[in-house]
Amino acid sequence: MRASGIKPGRRIAPPPISARLRRHVTLEVHADGEIAARVGRYPIALGRFSAGIADRAKDLRGGMPLASFASGRRSIDKEMDLLVRRLAWHGLMEYRLGRSRNGADLAIIEPQVPDYWPQTPQLDNADALVLSRFGYMRRRGNEMVLESPRAGALFKFCDPKIAAVLAMLSTPQPIGQLRRHDGFPGVAFLALLVDCQIVLKSDGTGESGLRTAEDDHNLILWEFHDLLFHTRSTQGRHANPLGGVYPYAGVISPLPAVRPRWPVKKINLHKFSATHSEEISALAKLLRERHSTRVFDDQRPITVAELSRFLDHTARVLSMSKGAAGDGGAVDTYTVRPYASAGGSYELELYLAINICEGLARGFYHYDAGAHALAPIRVPENELDALLAGAQYAMGAPALPQVVITIAARFGRVSWKYSSIAYALILKDVGVLTQTLYLAVTDMGLGGCAIGITNIDLFAKMTGIEIHVEGPVGQFAIGRGAKSGAAD
């Protein structure tokens, strides 16, 4: 069906994009020109601005067209651009995409990363577009949203006809052809999706060609569910609540700490267990003494010699060999290390953020497990601080940890071999390595704490490695525990 009044190939005016505050955000303007955003009880300082900006900023509640200050010709426009970008960096903005005819919203754009800014690359009628294999639509409450684990924003539809048009993009469609359909959302909307890699330009090849065209040699190894799980269960690529926020407290009672007993006759094992402490093995003692340490003694920090011994005991390559891989005649290289790994993949790498370590400069390092050496990586000081502060916050610690080990995965090392279960195997390997790290610090009289949150976007910035090539899947803090520190 052809939309009335629209001729094939004719350009239409792009719909306006407006920036507006998210619903839970309020702006506070002080007499000295300081502006702060308030989210619940927490104020966020944004800086000092002129009186004109304080008055104009009120329009951000309903929405302010980006075009109204994008030129930057006037000083007040430059100030407004600065204010909006600072708000966006803190995740406090969303963007309205309106129809040029009646002004009604076409879609709401919700940023998922701090540095997202709406961009509309040039598209022509001859360009063929296709939906990314990672793009998906779902119901969220009473809304329909379009998103992708690769995208910097998600799109909430205000017009259900958009879904029908997007469904056509399961195969490549020229923009000129899409214009003929009722509900065509406009070129600017499609350009925003292309910018977010939810929709891709295509040369019209078949499915295998589409996958090759979309993916580099690393991304092609990812399955949809694995990349979605990775990006949505870590920090940095989504704007959902994260961590121990107790979302169901008061709604559902917590499960009991010990499972209710099966109603059958039991076999008592106590009579077979050791009754005296001297009969307990050294390993059993380590397992029982293992605990998390969140307070460290910065007056007596861990030393580089202790760190070397710790890495040698837990992660060093002990031997290497080559062997057949699959039925196609491929040959792979295998290593042996102190912990178990799925299929002998050993895809995990250790990156050390050093805050305090006697004999080692503060900085960011990669542990070369084959050479048993540390390779310093130059990173901006604020990024190192952010990694350490994020670990402190996730641990609930009173101060920065002495050393934070980021456990990163070279994903293709596992997904090259395993289908459907690759990311699940990686997480199992993280669990095995984490227990190994715990036992080592316990044996050495040091303190350690597993950390449940990692920031994949921050790691990508620090290393220059794309999130789908190598990225964090776990963290572990290590140092000399304070004698009076809390442990669990």
The two structure tokens encoding residue 304: 């580089």
Helix (H) or strand (E) holding 165: helix 161-167
What does the mean pLDDT of the chain come to? 91
Half-sphere exposure of 479 (CA within 13 A, CB side): 29
What are the angstrom distances between the C-alpha of 268 and each of 163, 257, 271, 275, 454? Answer: 60, 21, 7, 14, 42
Q: H/E/C letters for each residue in 330-374? A: EEEEEEECCCCCHHHCCCEEEEEEECCCECCCCEEEEEECCCCEE
Q: How far apart are CA 162 and CA 14, in angstroms?
A: 16
pLDDT at 208: 55
pLDDT at 276: 62
Percent of the chain with pLDDT over 90: 78
The predicted-structure confidence for 60-85, as pLDDT tens digits, reads as follows: 998 999 999 987 789 999 999 999 99
The two structure tokens encoding residue 363: 């900085």
Helix axis angle for 422-444 and 304-314, nearest 10°, is 130
Q: How far apart are CA 134 and CA 154, in angstroms?
A: 13
SS3 407: strand
**Are the CB atoms for 411 and 468 separated by under 8 Å?**
yes
The predicted-structure confidence for 451-469, as pLDDT tens digits, reads as follows: 999 999 999 999 999 999 9
In 3D space, the residue among 113, 188, 106 whose CA is nearest the CA of residue 155 turns out to be 106
Q: Worst-scoring range by mean pLDDT, 9-18, 198-207, 443-452?
A: 9-18
pLDDT at 155: 97
Q: How far apart are CA 136 and CA 200, in angstroms?
A: 14
Do strands 25-29 and 330-336 pair parallel, antiparallel, or not at all (unpaired)? unpaired
The two structure tokens encoding residue 349: 């790498």
Stretch 408-427: mean pLDDT, rounded? Answer: 97
**Are the CB atoms for 404 and 451 separated by under 8 Å?**
yes
Q: How far apart are CA 147 and CA 138, in angstroms?
A: 8
pLDDT at 1: 37
SS3 461: helix
The predicted-structure confidence for 140-157, as pLDDT tens digits, reads as follows: 999 999 999 999 999 999
The predicted-structure confidence for 142-197, as pLDDT tens digits, reads as follows: 999 999 999 999 999 998 889 999 999 999 999 999 999 888 999 999 999 999 99
In 3D space, the residue among 349, 286, 340, 318 whose CA is nearest the CA of residue 475 turns out to be 349
In 3D space, the residue among 320, 338, 348, 485 whose CA is nearest the CA of residue 411 turns out to be 348
In 3D space, the residue among 406, 365, 394, 412 whose CA is nearest the CA of residue 453 turns out to be 394
The two structure tokens encoding residue 172: 């490549």
Helix (H) or strand (E) holding 387: helix 381-395
Give the pLDDT band (50/70/90) at residue 133. very high
In 3D space, the residue among 468, 316, 472 whose CA is nearest the CA of residue 391 turns out to be 472
The two structure tokens encoding residue 120: 């509309």
The residue extents of the domains of the chain are: 17-216, 282-479
SS3 384: helix
Q: How far apart are CA 470 and CA 454, in angstroms?
A: 13
Is the pLDDT assigned to residue 124 strictly greater than 90?
A: yes
Stretch 384-396: mean pLDDT, rounded? Answer: 97
Q: H/E/C letters for each residue in 260-326? A: CCCCCCCCCCHHHCCCCHHHCCHHHHHHHHCCCECCECCCCCCEHHHHHHHHHHHCCCCEEEEEEEC
Do strands 25-29 and 199-202 pair parallel, antiparallel, or not at all (unpaired)? unpaired
Q: From the CB of residue 49, how many other CB atoms can be counted at a distance below 10 Å?
A: 19
Backbone φ, ψ for residue 277 (5° rounding)? -60, -30
Give the pLDDT band (50/70/90) at residue 11. very low
Is the pLDDT assigned to residue 275 strictly greater than 80?
A: no
CATH superfamily of 282-479: NADH Oxidase (3.40.109.10)
Find residue 147's DSSP bridge partners: 136
The two structure tokens encoding residue 90: 């803190």
Q: Strand ranges (DSSP E) for 54-115?
A: 64-65, 93-98, 105-111
More confident residue, 206 or 455: 455
In 3D space, the residue among 420, 397, 423 whose CA is nearest the CA of residue 409 turns out to be 423
The predicted-structure confidence for 360-375, as pLDDT tens digits, reads as follows: 999 999 999 999 999 9
